[in-house]
Chain A
């Protein structure tokens, strides 16, 4: 095969490729400039869990262990404790609260069964998704990381309105 035919064949391939590229330039863009621009997430997005508190700031969790029982990857560890003090002095809303509440994000599969199981609406999925760490042990999140009053929310996401359509992957382009 001569050198000329080789060059011609390559030029043809480049032109057909560039044709696709150039034809996309005037169209709407779907790339998100994360982390410079916040990502839009669905309202039902399953991110890092949140442990909720009631209007008086008392933890809603009563340490019933149902989330731990429902968890298919066995990543929730709880230690319950009795809190006989009156409501005003208590940590939790009820006389029993979770002294220890750990979720191991090395194992969590974000299935949402714990949220389904919770009888007190104490645990939900938040939107934080930036869970990568430099040390595997740091994937174990304790109550200090999970409580809604203490969890540091990333400013790198924006929750979509329910009317908003953000399912870009499935959208006909």
Chain B
């Protein structure tokens, strides 16, 4: 987009800038620097802190530069006695009620108020009236609140409203008694913690990392989140081989997500250093026996021996593993034993989608500036929170059309310009209606909607001049995925982009790494020696009957059901302990970096697999370096060709893998079988009208999130304690029932 360039003079120097940019951005970009608290680039303007004052010629008073747009010939002064006096006075006002308890405050050391007051504040405080004093309290198990530290910049309320659409946090009272609070004093939101992240002071604090250490003591490692497929960039703070907290990357040098993270990315890191981690390799010497701690040499030799003896081996990867691991597992299957089959355990298989992909995947930035977004199925709010935030901002700040096709209402459906509420389990019919207009009537009947709704959606899509983004969730079967992947090629003159709402952090990467994979059930059934990296899903585990298999080796972090049924268990390193890459649903391949050394005797997954391979006589030549594995990936996968770790160094410019595009593929077969499928849907069904509670999937207690005790309380209804001053963890049992008096005394020592 070519913007008109205009001339702006700042402190006597002339600059050419784009017309209409916020003046504060230009001033800071050119290196003059004005302080500000309430200004936040991606949020609505507030202009309440009055710190960014500048003098603009021909304007009667000092102006807040955050609300001024650059115009031609503007002459700006950023430094003068008058401005400094105003800023110092503002600093003094802000401190009038701000306690000087920096040594206890968890924000101390990374506090924007501290920084600004150091530069622009007055050393002397003239107010000697008593300050407002409130004790520090909890707003939820993971959000702590200290009211009087607040400077009322309202970043938190704007973030909650604009990014999350939750309005869980608001300002109450008036004048100098204004405080940030919640309805009913307790937060029943998705607990994303973005209000904590954007808070410039210590008003809202991380309850999980509470009083653990100080920011300058932490080693910050930039890495990629291990939960959903959005692939947010985050910074792991570790000290002495312990992960203490996770925050988003800095706002100005960020990854794809800016300062956004969800509850899982930000708070669910308790599993890394949890005491339940498998400490040593375990061997079950004979069926029905116990798993006995062992050494690495013994475990590898034992596993290799049993795999050699077996008639047919199988490898199962999971989509939480790094590309390096999945690739190594694939090589293990190819090179160690002939006829080894392999599979990837995932919520749904993206193979039919990538085989028919006819347009590049869309990035999260493109979602933010899209004109029309069609979300078919999925549960974006709960499963891909960053995508949901981008959609919400596109609608709210960019005026995008949102067409939501789903059988369950969600938070996002309130913002949709068209919410197509279909019968349960009939989402696929919408894909059919888009691909085959002749079947639209039948599809509309099956979905329980009027034909007009489909026509209206089609009209909106046809009228779109900018980006048209089609997202789809796990409801889509193989044929529907193929048809959806082919949709862009029907509209060649328009910008149609696709965005799969994949299940796990590396669903896309695992799909790339293991072409020609089989379903998990087939691999498990067809082999008598299994190597499983990670754990099978509950359904897969129930179907697999691992106990009856002659030999099962599992690489895991915890003794899950799958690991407990294995004959050899290898302790694997978590995402914070190993190097690697994840490929997210934008197609960006992003680095995972080692923040701490592997705990106990754990080893990275790919290393375990290659050790096992070398025992079986296949040398992969990795010599213990993840970058060598990635080179091997680049050599054997077309989409990753030529990539090396140094290319992935800069998370602000993520690298896209080159997925092969198939344009004009013939999908009439898929359309026909989809039509058959849809025609078998029941004609009438009751619609789901109840909106599930916020966090019904985010707060789920899983193997990983369950290791952070706060998740148990959230999953059990987030009860409000009687005493808000003490952490709910001290007042409730993990199941949400109140602790008895004696118990809490015992717990307190």
Contacts and interface: CB of A to CB of B under 8 A. Distances in A.
A83 B104 CA distance: 12
Contacts of A66: 103
B211 A95 contact: yes
Contacts of A68: 217
A82 B102 CA distance: 15
Contacts of A83: 211
Contacts of B732: none
A104 interface: no
A60 B104 CA distance: 11
Given A64-B108, A84-B730, A95-B136, A119 B103 contact: yes
A45 to B, nearest CB: 27
A105 interface: no
B590 interface: no
Interface in B133-165: 136
Contacts of A120: 103
B213 A80 contact: yes
Contact of B748 (A85, A94, A95): A85
Contacts of A79: 213
A58 interface: no
A64 B214 contact: yes
B211 A81 contact: yes
A64 B103 contact: yes
| Residue among B103, B108, B725 facing the most chain A CB atoms (10 A cut-off) | B103
B212 A119 contact: no
A89 B747 CA distance: 13
B179 to A, nearest CB: 20
Contact of A82 (B103, B210, B214, B725): B210
Interface residues of B, number: 17
Contacts of A46: none
B726 interface: yes
Nearest to B726: A84
B727 interface: yes
A69 interface: yes
Interface in B690-749: 725-727, 730, 748
Given A64-B108, A84-B727, A85-B748, A119 B102 contact: yes
A58 B103 CA distance: 17
A104 to B, nearest CB: 15
B724 to A, nearest CB: 11
B252 interface: no
Interface in A88-132: 89, 94-96, 119-120
A96 B144 CA distance: 14
Contacts of A63: 211
Interface string B209-247: 011111011000000000000000000000000000000
Q: Is the interface of B mostly helix, strand, loop or mixed?
A: loop
Contacts of B748: 85, 89
A96 B104 contact: yes
Contacts of B103: 62, 64, 66, 119-120
Contacts of A62: 103-104
Contacts of B216: 65, 69
A94 B103 CA distance: 10
Nearest to A61: B103
A85 B726 CA distance: 7
| Residue among A64, A85, A89 facing the most chain B CB atoms (10 A cut-off) | A64
A85 B727 CA distance: 10
Interface string B103-119: 11000100000000000
A90 to B, nearest CB: 10
A63 to B, nearest CB: 8
A81 B136 CA distance: 16
Interface string B85-111: 000000000000000001110001000
B212 A80 contact: yes
Given A84-B730, A85-B748, A95-B136, A65 B102 contact: no
Contacts of B104: 62, 64, 94-96
A46 B597 CA distance: 39
A114 B177 CA distance: 38
Nearest to A66: B103
Contacts of A94: 104
A70 to B, nearest CB: 11
| Residue among B104, B210, B217, B726 facing the most chain A CB atoms (10 A cut-off) | B104
Contacts of B108: 64
Nearest to B730: A84
Nearest to A69: B216
Nearest to B210: A82
A79 B212 CA distance: 7
A95 B214 CA distance: 15
Interface in B241-263: none
Contacts of B212: 80-82
Contacts of A69: 214, 216
Given A65-B216, A95-B136, A80 B102 contact: no
Contacts of B136: 95
A85 B211 CA distance: 14
Nearest to A79: B213
Nearest to B207: A82
Contacts of B727: 82, 84
A123 to B, nearest CB: 12
A82 B211 contact: yes
B108 to A, nearest CB: 7
Contacts of A85: 726, 748
Nearest to A81: B211
B729 to A, nearest CB: 9
A66 B730 CA distance: 29
| Residue among A69, A83, A84, A89 facing the most chain B CB atoms (10 A cut-off) | A84
A96 B217 contact: no
Given A68-B217, A69-B216, A84-B726, A96 B211 contact: yes
3 tightest A-B CB contacts, nearest first: A64-B103, A82-B211, A96-B211
Given A64-B214, A65-B214, A120-B103, 11 more contacts: A62-B103, A69-B214, A69-B216, A80-B211, A81-B211, A82-B210, A82-B212, A82-B727, A83-B211, A85-B726, A85-B748
19 contacts: A62-B104, A63-B211, A64-B104, A65-B217, A66-B103, A69-B214, A79-B213, A80-B212, A80-B213, A80-B214, A81-B211, A81-B212, A82-B727, A84-B725, A84-B730, A85-B726, A85-B748, A94-B104, A96-B211
Interface of B: 102-104, 108, 136, 210-214, 216-217, 725-727, 730, 748
